[in-house]
Chain A
């Protein structure tokens, strides 16, 4: 911060990311309401606790190793030109820059520079928190699919896996200006169709294969039964809060202000960029966010024949589908792409449910996973030939680069690790709750106690009324 403009840029950036964090917190609030609304009354408290406790577990592990993975793994490791891990002195948990720091010169023995300290002292905490909130979102997406039958211990291990390991690896590979997927494949995923949504959908699917459907979900002929929502209003509010939090998510995916020369361009101008340091504007992404949401809502309503749950979920699927290229699309392209994604998500959800007996309680695999994959592939065609970076030596955006990227996100880093981990948990008998407990409900002790309390209360009410 050797000039006034430099100091203001850093302090503005710090404040900018800080503002995104409470907005993104609403995503988690939304997921909690959504899950509680979708679960039956007998499982309410357990469902809420399962999702809330991922907050401390993902937070501490993201501090312990998640943040370091993002900075250390962009080369693969060893995939790009045989290079290995990158030193990340600002991101190791014992770095002075991971605590309260005023940006002064490095301590003796530190490998950070004076400039590193001046920048990261202000940015590290808020940037870490923005990424952490993405991590919560990834884990929370998985949570909804597994409700009413997964053991907490199994889900929390899975939450740490996706929140602090697998999604961070995919971000280092494909959501980093220097990531090997960007350099070699021209992978472009500006607002995380793949790096958050496809991986979370794939992880949920990998877990669901081992977990199995809820009791009574499928008839003998294999057709699915509807398990009614406990509270459709809560589900709706939850989805609307997720939409709201998505604004913070989009804004947090940008670098708010950077000079043109720092991103390989020229001219005495400043610009906002996406995570790849290629230029965009908040105006552009605002237009595209709203148009893709609208496309998803319209298509969701049409394809589901007016089903409210799938209409609202269609809105989310619309945004997720267009997110890969929403830094560059025309708003009407975002509208059409959002509509296509919502349509495909709905059709695929129902097909997979019937064909493979997959009980995805909230449709997360479809809304996040399939829509994310479709969004990446569409971006490959629509943005074919666009540069993936402002720097030299990077592959351009192509359909095959995006398709390979989608497979890495959904299958390699999403489905596969969850399938292996849940297979092991199942082998040890700690993946699913006992059938009797599932039938009675995970909150059955509370249910019995509440019923006894109500009985006693009613008797005393009647007795007291009788006295007068």
Chain B
């Protein structure tokens, strides 16, 4: 894992492979990405459930539900 991967463009391009920074870090990047994806779902499920509970409570108060039905 050395960087920069490319130090000159004045080379035989047929011999040039990957050109992104830190070639060799792909598996680490993959694991971080995978963790972020699963983490997003976990957070989003909690967030949405909490939001819907709060909205339900809000709609149970006074005439909020009636107002929404009238406006919507």
Residues of A within 8 A of B (CB): 40-42, 57, 60-61, 63-64, 93-96, 98-107, 117, 121, 151-153, 156-157, 430, 433-434, 436-437, 439-441, 444-445, 447-448, 451
Q: Report the bound CA distance from A94 to B20 in whole Å.
A: 13
With contacts A434-B56, A436-B60 known, is A448 near B45, CB below 8 A? no
Give the contacting residue for B26; candidates A42, A93, A437; CB below 8 A. A93
Whether the Cβ atoms of A447 and B17 lie closer than 8 Å is no
Asked whether any CB of chain A lies closer than 8 Å to the CB of B71, the reply is yes
Contact status A42-B23, CB under 8 Å = no
In the complex, are the beta carbons of B19 and A102 less than 8 A apart? yes
Structural contact, B64 and A448, CB atoms closer than 8 A: yes
Query: Are A93 and B65 closer than 8 Å at their CB atoms?
Result: no
Closest to B46 in A: A153
Partner of B68, one of A94, A99, A156, A444: A444
Q: Which chain B residues (19-63) contact chain A, with CB distance < 8 Å?
A: 19-20, 23, 26-27, 29-30, 33-34, 37, 40-41, 44-45, 48-49, 52, 55-56, 58-60
Residues of chain A lying within 8 A (CB to CB) of residue B52: 151, 433-434, 437
Give the Cβ gap from A439 to chain B, nearest Cβ, in Å: 7
Rounded to whole angstroms, the CA-CA distance of A357 and B33 in the bound complex is 41
A residues near B19, Cβ cutoff 8 Å: 100-102
Please, how many residues of chain B have a CB less than 8 angstroms from a CB on the other chain? 35
Number of A-B contacts defined by CB within 8 Å:
110
- The distance in angstroms between the C-alpha atoms of A41 and B34, with both chains bound, is 36
Residues of A within 8 A of B16 (CB): 102-104
In this complex, the member of B19, B59, B69, B71 whose beta carbon has the largest number of chain A beta carbons within 10 angstroms is B71
Listed A/B pairs (15) with beta-carbon separation below 8 Å: A42-B68, A57-B40, A61-B37, A64-B30, A94-B26, A99-B18, A104-B13, A105-B17, A107-B23, A121-B17, A152-B44, A152-B48, A156-B44, A437-B56, A448-B68
Summarize A's interface: helix, strand, loop or mixed.
helix
Contact A104 B17 (CB under 8 A): yes
Residue of B nearest to A96 (CB): B18
Is there contact, CB below 8 Å, between A99 and B55? no
**A94, B71: Cα distance in complex, Å:** 52
Interface residues of B (CB under 8 A from A): 13-20, 23, 26-27, 29-30, 33-34, 37, 40-41, 44-45, 48-49, 52, 55-56, 58-60, 64-65, 67-69, 71-72
**Which residues of A lie under 8 Å from residue B18 when comparing CB positions?**
96, 99-101, 107
Pick the contact of A95: B20, B26, B40 (CB < 8 A). B26
* Residues of the A chain whose Cβ atoms lie less than 8 Å from the Cβ of B45: 153, 430
User: Which residues of the partner chain A approach B26 to less than 8 Å between Cβ atoms?
Assistant: 93-96, 98-99
| Residues A439 and B69 in contact, CB atoms below 8 Å apart | yes
B15 touches A440 (CB 8 A): no
Contact partners of A61 in chain B: CB under 8 A: 37
Q: In whole angstroms, how far apart are the Cα atoms of A156 and B26 in the complex?
A: 26
Q: Indicate if the CB atoms of A430 and B49 lie closer than 8 Å.
A: yes
Beta-carbon contact of A437 and B55 below 8 Å: yes
In the complex, the chain A residue whose C-beta lies closest to that of B25 is: A94
Knowing A64-B37, A100-B18, A436-B56, the reply to whether A448 touches B67 (Cβ < 8 A) is yes
- CA distance in complex: A444, B41 (Å): 24
Please state if A64 and B60 are interface contacts (CB–CB under 8 Å). Answer: no
- Residues of chain B with a CB closer than 8 A to A96's CB: 17-18, 23, 26
B36 CB, nearest partner CB in chain A, Å: 8
User: Which residues in A have their C-beta under 8 angstroms from that of B23?
Assistant: 96, 107
- Shortest C-beta distance, B31 to chain A (Å), equals 9
Cβ-defined contact, B30 with A444, below 8 A: no
Question: What's the least CB distance linking B17 to chain A, in Å?
Answer: 4
Residues of B within 8 A of A441 (CB): 68, 72
Bound together, the chains give a CA A104 to CA B17 distance in angstroms of: 4
Please report the C-alpha to C-alpha distance between residue A309 and residue B69 in the assembled complex, in whole angstroms: 27
Contacts of A98 in B (CB 8 A): 26
A-B CB proximity, top 7 nearest: A42-B72, A440-B68, A94-B26, A104-B17, A96-B18, A102-B16, A444-B68
CB proximity of B46 to chain A, nearest CB, Å: 9
Q: Which residues of B contact A40 (CB under 8 A)?
A: 72
B61 CB to closest chain A CB, in angstroms? 11
B21 to chain A minimum Cβ distance, whole angstroms, is 10
Apart from A96-B23, A441-B68: 5 A-B pairs, beta carbons within 8 A: A57-B37, A64-B37, A151-B48, A434-B52, A447-B71
